[in-house]
A and B are shown apart, each in its own frame.
Chain A
């Protein structure tokens, strides 16, 4: 127990000094297994901060390759990485930051067919995806499997996030079903200020570390939204509802669904 090496004590000293983290909290972080879905704008800062923090196992799900247009915000990848698998580029950065982290690569997209199998070995899931179908899929799979997760979404100058633990409000308690494909623009259509990904992703990373260490109050039953143009942050109270089609009294969503994606997203 608490067999930290001299190098680890030095590396994590700023955590260990914190009264609320300490050696005990750092041990919990080291034992933590976190799945980051998407090695993009949100997944990049999440994975990098979790790596730096010393999370023992980080899983990365992404079936895409690095595109030049990703580099404006996906800071885990660099210019020479263009054309490489995102999961491989991400692993390289994670292990350059912290070689103690075990990185599991899932070089595929999360789908109804693989979601439960992929998330089952992790303690906490972070949604770093850029589209509604997968956001609902992560929510549904985590609620069904009893996994806590952090939801995150960004667009233009705005971001929103909440944290779910078993029993708290889920995405479908707030938003019943995904908007029709193409009805809401995605980042690839509407654009996003790169730093917004960092703002929201670091909030998700902090929530993950709070969950692992048991420190503070999570964003459960709260939807945090911000607009970076005015730097207004808002916390909206949300409730788990009996009418929820997933976790309510009479659920209609009883299996995972692959919702249709906007066509332009499929061919980007």
Chain B
């Protein structure tokens, strides 16, 4: 199972979750997606929206500064 990385630290809502959904659509079932995003709206919204839409959010970790990593399994 492959791991993919998506950097949306420069994106604003709702494009943060739009890009997350695009990447999730492009990867294979069972693959893991690591999403790099910043605090505030992205960190609040992306994991919540992903869970609401039935994705498996495995972890949310602090990386450095205001950057966090949300790991989602498809």
Residue of B nearest to A19 (CB): B53
Chain B residue with minimal CB distance to A16? B18
Are the CB atoms of B14 and A13 closer together than 8 Å?
yes
Cβ of B25 within 8 Å of any chain A Cβ, yes or no, is: yes
Cβ-neighbour of B15 out of A9, A23, A24 (below 8 A) = A9
A1 lies within 8 A of chain B by Cβ: yes
- The range of chain A's interface size is 10 to 19
State the majority secondary structure of interface residues on B: helix
A1 to B15, CA, bound (A): 19
Which residues of chain A from 221 to 240 have any CB-CB distance to chain B below 8 Å in the complex? none
Contact of B25 among A13, A17, A19, A24 (CB under 8 A): A24
- A22 interfacial contact with B, CB 8 Å: yes
CB distance from A122 to the nearest CB of B (A): 26
With A9-B15, A10-B15 as known contacts, state yes or no: A17 contacts B26, CB within 8 Å.
Answer: no
- Does A4 belong to the interface (CB within 8 Å)? yes
In the complex, chain B residues 23-68 whose Cβ is within 8 Å of any chain A Cβ: 25-26, 49, 52-54
Residue of A with least CB distance to B22 = A23
In Å, the complex CA distance between A19 and B24 comes to: 13
Known A19-B53, A19-B54; judge A2-B18 contact (CB<8 A).
no
Distance in Å: Cβ of B72 to nearest Cβ of chain A: 14
Given contacts A2-B22, A2-B26, A14-B14, 17 further A-B contacts (CB under 8 A): A1-B26, A9-B18, A10-B18, A13-B14, A16-B21, A16-B22, A17-B14, A17-B18, A17-B21, A19-B53, A19-B54, A22-B25, A22-B53, A23-B21, A23-B22, A23-B25, A24-B25
Task: Name B residues whose Cβ lies closer than 8 Å to a Cβ of A.
Answer: 14-15, 17-19, 21-22, 25-26, 49, 52-54
Q: Which residues of A are in contact with B by a Cβ distance under 8 Å?
A: 1-2, 4, 9-10, 13-14, 16-17, 19, 22-24
